[in-house]
Structure 1
Amino acid sequence: MRFLILGGDSRNIMLAQCLAHAGHNVQMSGLGNDSENQTPIIVKIKEAINSYDYIVGPLPFTIDGENLHMPLSKDTVKLNDLIDVFTGNKVLIAGKIPVNFTEKLIENDIAVYDYLDRDEMSILNSIPTAEGAIQIAMEELPITIHGVNALVLGYGKTGKTLAGKLHALGANTYVCARKSVDFALCEVNNLYSTDYKKVDSIIQNMDVIFNTVPAIVLDSTRLSHVRRDCLIIDLASKPGGCDFDYAKENGIKIIHALSLPGKVAPITAANILYKVIEHIIDERS
């Protein structure tokens, strides 16, 4: 297969190496590797897209909603310009692709795959996310993880992996969930569990709280029950799940830890992207 790796961070550089090692034809653009000449990068990208079957973009696809995410390049590529260079019978794979961008590409007969729509992506990514979150806790807390009172808000893919690893390290691990099946799973895995109606009764005993819920679950009322020496690590995507203003005003430390896989384990993160892409290729064959 022929792959154009377009933009992104160090994960995409390592992903290109994975694909090349597997025998694929790979070219990179927008990763700081473009030769310096007078040809606009969008022209070079158009020429490259015409020669490749799969275009692999960044995760996230854009930060500001207007430009392709290319932190390693001095160039900028506007999404509106990028739409015009895609031709039919191409496949775009990237993450957090704007809905309107996806719709326009589909109208032009471009197949679009978003990493974040893939269950295997979120499951595998939960491993470096959990390890990165625990690393932050180990660096910030004056006590060991063993014996710590840790609360995990949310018991989705990341919450399950994180709670399991905390328990394995000897933490007194509490999970706040909603579904009866999650309470059953917590019991099977020897985890303490509670729901959002009862969590305030235990939250004052926590040394560290990990939030995985992409909604405001730690509002000012709930934060008023949190000890001032408790560390909160928010893993939810922006805007997060905490009232950051209230926390700052009241001396509660919150670390909004985003995109941990690429930061703490870029090689693993690249291998995960590679596995997802291989699955997509298999599905299309």
Structure 2
Amino acid sequence: MGRMDSDWEGEYDNATGCRNTVYTAPQTVVAPQWANVTLGVLGTQRLDRAIARNAATAGAKVAILGAPLQPKLRTVAAYPDPASVVKGARYAILPVSAPGQSAQASASFAPERAYGSALGGMSAGAHLIAPRTDAALTRHAAALGLTVHSYEDGLRPILDAASEAMDELFVRVEKAGTQLQGSRVCVIASERIPDLLILRLSSAGARVHLATNERGLDDAFPGVTVLPLSDLPVKSPKFDAIFSTINGPVVDARELGSLPDHALVVDLADPPGSVDFQLAKQLGRKAIWARGIMRRVPPLGQAYWSVIGGLIASLEQNES
């Protein structure tokens, strides 16, 4: 594959060489007795469901609003109404919003109006987990005997670090002579979907395609076209840039040979990587190996759960 391997984690590209930089991903705080935790997840979007799956994987008993998780988990129940989701629950997680969601959409949502008395069916002394708190929500919760907890401050450092990593990546892309505005860009991913990268590319004005064999993502990212990995050789001639996050030889002779001459290839995978750099050089393709960048950009579900799970763990330990 034409790689440079070592025992440190850093970055490499065929123009600037290596930089020694160690990156670490946020770790989830694990409560000692997750089996005793019951929680309801009131959001219905992909990020809410990722949090529900993480909570269930940790060992909690989880209820969600709307359709069942796919694939199903034994400890996750689905209900059509908020009252059933939070009935008897010790925790309720209010709908979350991904970075970049319009402030107007967030401001127009009032949990105290959306859920009304449904939250009153939670267990005595239960907790509401919210992105942020305000006076109206706090008063409504107090009237029902509930306590509101915000995770916004805990999440901000993780998202800030991820944003800095994306800024660094985009600077390197621009230095390579690629303008994202109006460009056709393809993100290649496996089960670990780089949602923050997709959102940043979209906000930069790129026309984003997501190549993955993961199912159920057609409506996950508004404006993003999802295609199977098998379509890459056919679609590659239309792309101005490819960002690959898969470990393994995904971007090889077929893709590199069919890309336009001006196209940029960005390998975001750890060794052995996914791009044949020797062939890319032979074909005159622009290529960047941004090794380590994505370790600072966790999937949003993981980032949110690392904070929400830590908050729940702390509450459980304080009350034990």
TM norm structure 2: 0.42
Q: Which protein has greater RCO, CA pairs closer than 8 Å, 6+ apart?
A: 2
TM norm structure 1: 0.47
